Amino acid sequence: MAQLAIKGGEAVIKPGEVKNWPPIDKTDEELIIAALHEPSQCRGKYTKLLEEEFCAFNGNKYAYFTNCGGSALQMCVAGCGIGAGDQVIVTSYTWPSSASCIIHNMAVPVFVDIDPETFLIDPAKIEAAVTPRTKAILCVHLHGLCCDMDPIREIAKKHNLKIIEDAAQAHNALYKGQKAGTLGDCAAFSFNQNKCMTSGEGGLFVTNDKEIFDRGLTLTGFGDMQPTKDTDSFPAYAFAHKFCNNEITAAYALAELRKFPYYYKQLLANAKTLHTILQAANIKGLKLPYEPAICTHNWYNYNLRVDFEALGMGDKTPAEKSEFRHAICRALQAEGVVCCVWQRCILPEMTIFRAQNAYGKGYPWAVPGASDGVDYSLKNFPEAIKYCYSHIAIVQILRAPNDEQMAAKVANAIIKVFNNLDELK
The domain spans of the chain are: 5-19+261-343+385-424, 26-256
Res 228: pLDDT: 53
Cα(43)–Cα(127) distance, rounded to whole angstroms? Answer: 41
Query: Residue 64: is its pLDDT beyond 70?
Result: yes
Q: What average pLDDT does the segment 391-415 reach?
A: 97
In terms of pLDDT, which residue wins out, 11 or 228?
11
Q: What average pLDDT does the segment 164-172 reach?
A: 98
Task: Categorize the per-residue pLDDT at 234 as very low, low, confident or very high, splitting at 50, 70 and 90.
Answer: low
Query: Residue 13: is its pLDDT beyond 70?
Result: yes
Helix then strand count (H, E) for the chain reads 12, 14
Res 341: pLDDT: 95
Evaluate whether the domain defined by 5-19+261-343+385-424 bears CATH number 3.90.1150.10.
yes
Within 10 angstroms of residue 19's Cβ, the number of other Cβ atoms is 14
Res 391: pLDDT: 97
CATH architecture for the domain at 26-256: 3-Layer(aba) Sandwich (3.40)
Q: Are 90 and 233 in contact (CB under 8 A)?
A: no
Which of 47-61, 136-150, 232-246, 360-374 has the lowest average pLDDT?
Answer: 232-246
Res 2: pLDDT: 86
Cα(356)–Cα(365) distance, rounded to whole angstroms? Answer: 6
Q: What average pLDDT does the segment 404-413 reach?
A: 98
Task: Categorize the per-residue pLDDT at 224 as very low, low, confident or very high, splitting at 50, 70 and 90.
Answer: low
Cα(323)–Cα(327) distance, rounded to whole angstroms? Answer: 6
Please give the mean pLDDT across all residues of the chain.
95
Res 232: pLDDT: 58
CA dihedral 96, 99, 102, 108 (to 10 degrees): -120
Cα(223)–Cα(30) distance, rounded to whole angstroms? Answer: 36
